[in-house]
A and B are shown apart, each in its own frame.
Chain A
Amino acid sequence: MEGKEQSKKKESWYWNWLIGSVALRVILVYFSNNLNLASRPEISTPLTSLRRLAEGYWLKQSSMSPYAGSMYHGSPLLLSLLGPLTAKRIEGQPDHILCSLVFVIADVVSAMFIRATGRNLQIAYSQSLKFLDLVKLSEKSDILPSGDIAALVYLWNPFTIVACVGLSTSPVENLAIILSLYGACRRIAPLAAFGWVMATHLSLYPVILIIPMILLLGYGPDTPPRKLFLQKKYVEVGDTPSNDRCLQEEAVDQPELPYVFSWRPVIHFLFWTSLWLVYVLVLCGVSVKQYGGLWELFKRTYGFMLTVQDLSPNMGVLWYFFAEVFDFFRNFFLIVFHGNILFMILPLAIRLKHRPFFLAFVYIVISSMLKSYPSVGDSALYLGLLGLFVNELADMKFSFFLFCGYIGVSLLSPVMHNLWIWRGTGNANFYFATAMAYACLQIILVVESVSAMLNHDRKLRKLSATKVLDGKT
């Protein structure tokens, strides 16, 4: 009874905070003209800027190619979805208020999906702990509802708020990624496939998420290493007659044991992926038919991302480098920089294959660190997802340092930009220094979170080993 009341209280607490975040967003949207966030290079990149999208829409309306000039580089589907909204003005309200409201809704929906995913992950986690007989630990995991925490971290993260209010399309991109992860977690193949295809279509980099998604669909959500289960099973089979309870438990848990790779959802997923892919391509093809066709589209969107044509300053490290590099080395370094992301995929996939969702998180951090036009919206996504692992990463190192670093860099970056662009007393190095500090912070975050996760696995193994020994004696 008491527990129920407490959970109800928690529920209302969650909803209060959610409504609070929406209210804050709406207030900020109302003052968006004063805040002038849309012109910040940290928030709106050439790919996510709504101003560029409006320009593309205008070009399209005057029956020119939306990719004419070098203004718009996003998806044609987004153009036809958000474009009409950018053209609509309400008297007395800030410009683009309808788009801002769409972004607010996208954020809220993302948060809800994160919460649902978190619950799913938490159930899987406590189930596997129960199976390993580490019930005390699993009791503790009920104390921290990781889904709620992650959703609130996502909603109240200043980065998310700023990206949402600052008229960038990253809330929509993040929603697509979260949708795909949710679908994979729940093993809903069509949804997962849709999310993945949309995310890839919108921002290309989520293409690498196909590996964790296949693992998720095949193995199910994150669990401790498979070896533990095998060990446990072996021990239990060894002394089944002595313990009746174990047998029972085994019988209950047996069908859910996650160490078999089931191909069925994966095949489903691949089927649906191809279906959605064809669908999206056809839609795109129709919408850009008279402007040079699909090839032109790919060149103007993905080509623009991969060849780093726009060297205007942003939070990433690529613009500075490619502004400096000689033209004849350019192609080589383009390959090196993008290869950087690809190099890390396989080793990480092997090491973290038992935790596919965490693997997806790591991939997202790495790609948002090394992508060509990063923005705070990308950081918002991975910081939100970080909250999902609050139980596993509870003793992560350098948490305070990272916190201070993120605050410091996000305050210093606009100041350095002001010093360089408006006051003229600084130069590009000032701003790039903050970009490098930011990249370093992200590296530390990845390294520390992965090592904390592996430590957590180690701890579980140690605990279960002592359990097994206790059981034997």
Chain B
Amino acid sequence: MGDSESESEAPKVKLRPIVRLGMFLISHSHLLSVVCCTAGVLTLLLLPLLAKNTYISENALMPGSANPMLSSQEVSEANGLVKDLTNLDLKPMASGIESQRLIAQYMSNLGAEVSFQKFYPQSNQFHPLHFFSSPDSATIRENISCSSFGLNTVGIIRAPRGDGKEAIVLVTPYNSEKIGLGEALSLGIAYSVFSLLTRVTWLAKDIIWVVADSKYGEYAAVDAWLRDYYIPVFSGLGTQYAEMCHGLEENTITERNMRDGFKRAGTMAAALVIKVVDRSEQFEDSLSIYAEASNGQMPNLDLINIVNYLAVHRQGLRIKVEKMWSLLNCKWLMILGEILESLGHLAKSLNPQWKFGIPAADYVEGTATLASSLYYQALGIPTGPHGAFRDYQVDAITLEISSRVSSNNKGRQNDFLLRGGRLIEGVIRSVNNLLEKFHQSFFLYLLTSPSKFLSVGVYMIAFALLVASLPMVAASLYAHANNLDPSFEKNKSNHPASAANELGITLRSWKWLYAAKKVLVVHLWGAVVLLLPYFICQIPNCTPTTSFVVWVLLSIFSLLILFWILGSPFYYVNASQPQQREWALLKSVTISAAFIGLCLMSVINFATAEIGALLMVPMCLMAHPLKLDVKSRKLRKFSRVACNLALGFIGFPPTAFLVFKGVFEGFDGISVSDFWNWLESIWAWSSATYLYIGMIHLPCWILCIHVILHPC
């Protein structure tokens, strides 16, 4: 940023190469920034082309090397459980705890250790202060009502060959109040695998089967179990709650089991969440993989690879990952895909070694998958109960198997249970082979199809190109603002002895401090805006729209107050100085702040930073005072004005959200309350995206608007 300043010093002396390079970059910053931005966007569009096929990186996994041992015997046992569960559901007077007791009975019949875990649902709360710390046992437990609690059933098989230090987790969420067929089937699959694993000799890691009570949400149940597993409460809170809620429970077997204490196995190597959904509209069984955890964290790619390999090559299931469906019918994407395909053909005809073309349909599909991958990572909300595991550095995915099974088709149900069970068995057998925790393959990647991925080294290029223009433009603006001072050139020509003029120069290099102060104040305001929803939520009976309006009003009010308190000295000081270049310095500091913020965010959550950069970089680069443009009546300047206004409109977070929502889902029925709801959801999940919007995006937008409307 400061490289430019060497320009002013001794122009005749031959400068060092790095300084000359810096000067070159600064003098051509306009051209280079346009080139960089376009290259960044183009690379983003080319990403599906650059995706590589996945491969299993860890040799120890050896998926599919052993024949599946799951036989019809286990399946018939599982069928029994499924039938019992569905019958239980048909009984009208079944108490809530009945199903858990049934499952526990089945588990202990297999010889597993069974325990129950009681938990109280708690609402998600936003702790900005806990963002950088470990998961904390001292999370605020408030609003616990003793009558509403969930009960997880946990069964553990001790491995005959293990030392009890490691474990693999199976999770089957189900609603204990109303058990659907799909949930019963998922329990059946897990049970068949579980019963097989009690008999096998090769098991080296303990198996934990968590039957999570999803009465209050799947995530909450799994999260509660994990918290108890990893952060034992020795005294205080635990007993306190036990005492608080005592007297409500009958003294049953479950109660006695609960008193036995919480059962543990070793550290978790991997966790699989199994779900079955009933989708009768599909013709074949398929498997959807959900992997995104909080803040765009992903499990190790090897875990997805094993599942993918076994499902496709062994069980013949169709694998799906989430897609943006609206992109599939996009005209321009199709055209782009065709162009790229023909380019690929052309390249191939020139040199058969070059193989980068993919069919247009694949390209569109890859783009849709990539877009959804980016979107779900950027949201920072876990896509399933597997997200809870990632907070404890356990790799986990959700496998959602969709079937066409109906309860009266016995044969089909058996086949389904067999295939699902064998898939799970294979995955567990592979993970069982692991010597260390997953570390070989990637953690930072984006999927473009179940068997294609983009590693961090590739997708970072797109972001880096996009962002690279920011420091260049900031440096050039800074250099111009400093060098174009009229007093400076006079100084050189006049006799240098006059000390009064020296004064002007000496203060020159610190003039950016005023702009930095302004930027700092606006970023502080961003933090205030972030905290406001916490108070607005306390207002009872608030519709989303009114909340949003209150929020906006309070934000504007706080901005005015902040400027009144802290910002006023700024105008006072600057009144004496020429304001001509003030906006340039302000823009330079804004761009630097945006650069730092985006780089920071790309480390925390890449997808947010990428989407944010797409919105913010053009806005920051284009910002130019309207007054100057309008004064000179030229077409080029007017186009810049139009660009500025358009980018300023789209850069405002609510409008950006609504426009994107409109484009993807249609414009009818959109209102500002959608934005509030969306924001509330990412706020409740304490997603870093929320911090990004408030601390980086919004302040930069305000500053850009300030530059555009600058009275120079």
Which residue numbers of A lie inside 8 Å of B, CB to CB?
Answer: 34-36, 39, 134, 136-137, 140, 394-404, 407-408, 411-412, 414-416, 418-419, 422-425, 430, 459, 462-463, 466-467, 470
| A140 x B603 contact (CB < 8 A) | no
Closest chain-A Cβ to B403's Cβ sits at a distance in Å of 34
| A35 x B129 contact (CB < 8 A) | yes
| B510 x A399 contact (CB < 8 A) | yes
| B134 x A395 contact (CB < 8 A) | no
Give CA–CA (A275, B588) in the complex, Å.
Answer: 55
Q: Is B514 an interface residue (CB 8 A)?
A: no
Give CA–CA (A424, B443) in the complex, Å.
Answer: 9
Given contacts A415-B600, A463-B497, contact A140 B503 (CB under 8 A): yes
| A137 x B499 contact (CB < 8 A) | yes
Chain A minimum-CB-distance residue to B135: A422
Closest chain-A Cβ to B454's Cβ sits at a distance in Å of 16
Contact of B516 among A403, A412, A414, A459 (CB under 8 A): A403
A-contact 0/1 string along B578-622, CB 8 Å cutoff: 000000000011001000100110011000000000000000000
Can you report 28 residue pairs joining A to B where beta carbons are below 8 Å apart? A34-B129, A136-B500, A394-B510, A395-B505, A395-B506, A397-B2, A397-B5, A397-B6, A398-B5, A399-B2, A400-B1, A400-B512, A400-B516, A400-B589, A400-B592, A403-B516, A404-B596, A414-B132, A415-B600, A415-B603, A415-B604, A418-B132, A419-B603, A425-B443, A425-B444, A430-B603, A463-B497, A466-B496
Give CA–CA (A459, B507) in the complex, Å.
Answer: 15
Given contacts A401-B1, A424-B393, contact A395 B500 (CB under 8 A): no
List residues of B (471-522) whose CB comes within 8 Å of A's CBs: 478, 495-497, 499-500, 502-503, 505-510, 512, 516
For A419, what are the chain B residues with a Cβ–Cβ distance below 8 Å?
603-604
Q: Is B644 an interface residue (CB 8 A)?
A: no
For A140, what are the chain B residues with a Cβ–Cβ distance below 8 Å?
499, 503, 506
Chain B minimum-CB-distance residue to A136: B499
Give CA–CA (A382, B551) in the complex, Å.
Answer: 42
Give CA–CA (A39, B133) in the complex, Å.
Answer: 9
| B297 x A134 contact (CB < 8 A) | no
Given contacts A35-B129, A397-B6, A399-B510, contact A134 B499 (CB under 8 A): yes
Give CA–CA (A211, B606) in the complex, Å.
Answer: 50
Given contacts A423-B393, A425-B297, contact A400 B2 (CB under 8 A): yes
Give CA–CA (A377, B23) in the complex, Å.
Answer: 36
Give CA–CA (A404, B5) in the complex, Å.
Answer: 16
Contact of B592 among A404, A422, A467 (CB under 8 A): A404
Give CA–CA (A398, B19) in the complex, Å.
Answer: 12
Chain A minimum-CB-distance residue to B136: A36
For B6, what are the chain A residues with a Cβ–Cβ distance below 8 Å?
397
For B497, what are the chain A residues with a Cβ–Cβ distance below 8 Å?
463, 466-467, 470
For B133, what are the chain A residues with a Cβ–Cβ distance below 8 Å?
36, 39, 422
Chain B interface: which size bin? Answer: 35 or more
For A423, what are the chain B residues with a Cβ–Cβ distance below 8 Å?
297, 393
For A430, what are the chain B residues with a Cβ–Cβ distance below 8 Å?
603
Closest chain-A Cβ to B291's Cβ sits at a distance in Å of 13
Give CA–CA (A407, B134) in the complex, Å.
Answer: 24
Given contacts A36-B133, A140-B499, A401-B2, contact A416 B603 (CB under 8 A): yes
Chain B minimum-CB-distance residue to A448: B2
| B599 x A408 contact (CB < 8 A) | yes
Given contacts A136-B499, A137-B499, A414-B132, contact A398 B603 (CB under 8 A): no
A-contact 0/1 string along B1-41, CB 8 Å cutoff: 11101100000000000000000000000000000000000
| A407 x B596 contact (CB < 8 A) | yes
Give CA–CA (A97, B596) in the complex, Å.
Answer: 35
Closest chain-A Cβ to B416's Cβ sits at a distance in Å of 35
Given contacts A408-B600, A412-B603, A463-B499, 18 further A-B contacts (CB under 8 A): A134-B499, A136-B499, A394-B507, A395-B509, A396-B509, A398-B5, A399-B510, A400-B2, A400-B512, A400-B589, A401-B3, A411-B600, A412-B600, A414-B132, A419-B604, A422-B133, A422-B134, A462-B496
Chain A minimum-CB-distance residue to B588: A400
Closest chain-A Cβ to B510's Cβ sits at a distance in Å of 6
For B129, what are the chain A residues with a Cβ–Cβ distance below 8 Å?
34-36
Chain B minimum-CB-distance residue to A397: B5
A-contact 0/1 string along B284-307, CB 8 Å cutoff: 000000000000010000000000
For B2, what are the chain A residues with a Cβ–Cβ distance below 8 Å?
397-402
For B444, what are the chain A residues with a Cβ–Cβ distance below 8 Å?
425
Report, nearest first, the 6 A-B pairs whose CB atoms are least far apart: A401-B2, A394-B506, A136-B499, A398-B2, A425-B443, A424-B393
For B443, what are the chain A residues with a Cβ–Cβ distance below 8 Å?
424-425
Give CA–CA (A407, B596) in the complex, Å.
Answer: 8
Chain B minimum-CB-distance residue to A134: B499
